[in-house]
Amino acid sequence: MSKTILTYSALRLFQNCRRKYHLRHYEYLVPLKADEVLYLGSVWHSVMELWYGEGDLDAKLLAIRNLIDKSFPDHNSDPSQKRDWHLCHAMFDGYRARYPKEDFVVVGIEQEFSIPIINPLTGRSSRTFELRGKVDGLVQMRDLGELFLLEHKSAAQITGDYIERLPSDFQINLYSMALSRFMKQKISGVIYNVTRKASLKQSEGETEEQFEVRRAELIKKSKTGKSSAKRKLPESNEAFRERLKEKYYDPEMFYREILYLSDEDALRTSTEIWDITKLILTARRENCWIPNWEACFKFGSKPCMYWPLCRSNNNPNVRDNFYKIAPPNEELVELEPEPIF
Ligand code: SF4
């Protein structure tokens, strides 16, 4: 019997909320409307994949421009697509300028792994689960020849907190341990490659009415009873592009951290994964998927994607109107049976 696939995302979902894990991995539900923030992040990953992939410079640049254009097909008419389309182009242009040369060579892109989940106490493999995933990139440092994962992130903020938490990031610890076991080669750590998403907005200008209200206010305050105010016109695409370009001249829009991960880190991560599988087995056996109401609004102001369903006590109309069925672990493709390295 084939084993149940666990990925980083699946493990993370279970840790955050068991009900969420069940809705995604047993009922296969996803919202009909894609999350814009997650979508932008996935486009950025695809941009990085092309940038560090094979091919000559001109071909890559063309492919990246096409990718961004195709990812936001309605950028001429839809305001949110237009914003993200401008942003992605500016992020990429800024990124190229910021990193004209790299201290590493790319060994692999979107490298997949598949490994048994091992009980760290007995060394035995789980009969129920296997661990699979895909890392953004694998690179080799030019100086010492060490292998590192290259993980791309796009983030609204790069705060001290964000950086402080990186060594405990479950995802990079898991990927490093898993790929190292899959390839049977030591991976020294992770290059955490963060690009900030500028929060600039293209000005929409004023309507005639808004202008008249503002002008009347200014006249009221003016000693002469007059105002030379002019109506604010919408910001042109060119002007907005220029503002974004300038924003990305700022080196603080980019951040890289090299983290070394030890054998103790790998053992701790393996133990954590094993412990989660035990909890999943218990939940499965008892068919008990406890909701974690603390997690519903955990990520900023946006609720969890299943909030409408949970809030409605699993109302079938909500289920039919807001969700569709999609296979889990869509990010994975069929693996070759043997490691490629
Ligand atoms: S809305 Fe809350 S309880 Fe429901 S799945 Fe999401 S996190 Fe869990």
pLDDT score for 334: 41
- How far apart, in Å, do the first and last CA atoms of the chain sit? 28
Q: What pLDDT is stored for residue 302 in this prediction?
A: 81
**pTM of the entire predicted model:** 0.82
Yes or no: say if 326 and 28 are a contact pair by the CB < 8 Å rule: yes
In degrees and rounded to multiples of 5, residue 191 shows phi and psi of: -100, 115
Alpha carbon distance 8, 275 (integer Å):
14
Ligand 1: centre distance to CA 298 (Å): 10
The residue that leads in pLDDT, 201 or 300, is 201
Tokens of 325: 């069925």
Residue bearing tokens 């946006």: 302
Q: What are phi and psi of 180, to 5 degrees?
A: -60, -45
24 lines ligand 1 (CB under 6 A): no
Number of Cβ atoms within 10 Å of the Cβ of 276: 19
pLDDT on residue 162: 75
Per residue in 89-119, pLDDT (tens digit) is 999 999 999 999 999 999 999 999 999 999 9
Q: What is the greatest pairwise CA distance in the chain?
A: 88
From the CA of 293, how far away is ligand 1's center (Å)?
A: 6
Backbone angles phi, psi at 104, to 5 degrees: -135, 165
The 10s digit of each residue's pLDDT in 133-157 is: 999 999 999 998 999 999 999 988 8
The DSSP call for residue 3 is P
Q: 289 CB less than 6 Å from ligand 1?
A: no
The domain spans of the chain are 34-101
